[in-house]
Structure 1
Amino acid sequence: MADPERYRVTLTTGGAVVMQGAWAIREIGELKFRSWIVSYGGISEARVVLTERGVDGVEKVLKEWPEA
């Protein structure tokens, strides 16, 4: 069974989490990642990160904006 929260997108500003969403399908996570950049990228200090949670529970960063 697919993990319904395998791919997570997180929006932070000034280091504080503003919004998060999670999906089982990578393509949906990538679509949300791009759309959140368009929608919220103008917010001061905005950062958007797409992560994947492995079977061991550890999250790995797949994409981040702006790039580190």
Structure 2
Amino acid sequence: MISNHSPDRYHLALTRDGRPAMHGWWGSEAVARAKFTEWVGDWGRQGATVTLVDEDTGTVLTTWPAEA
């Protein structure tokens, strides 16, 4: 099956104290969500934000910590 989505559709970003710290791009939402969970486990501390965005639509799929 051929996908018409870009191979870097799902963008994961980690910021620390408001500064970019790490980025990653994946073509599979399932893989990107697994990485999101991994990053929160590895890097999720006070001052950190992890965000997953669908670059094709501009939609924020999830963020940590969750907005109140």
Q: Give the TM-score normalised by structure 1.
A: 0.86
Once the two structures are superposed, residues 13-58 of structure 1 have per-residue CA deviations (whole angstroms, 9 ceiling, x without a partner) of 111110000000000000000000000013x40000000012xxx5
Q: Say yes or no: does 1:36 pair with 2:39.
A: yes
d(CA) in 2 for partners of 1:13, 1:41 = 9
1:19 corresponds in structure 2 to 22
What stretches of structure 1 of length at least 5 have no aligned partner? none
Q: Give the TM-score normalised by structure 2.
A: 0.86
2:65 corresponds in structure 1 to 66
**Cα root mean square deviation, aligned:** 1.2
Count of residues paired in the alignment: 64
1:4 CA drift (Å): 1.0
1:2 corresponds in structure 2 to 5
What stretches of structure 2 of length at least 5 have no aligned partner? none
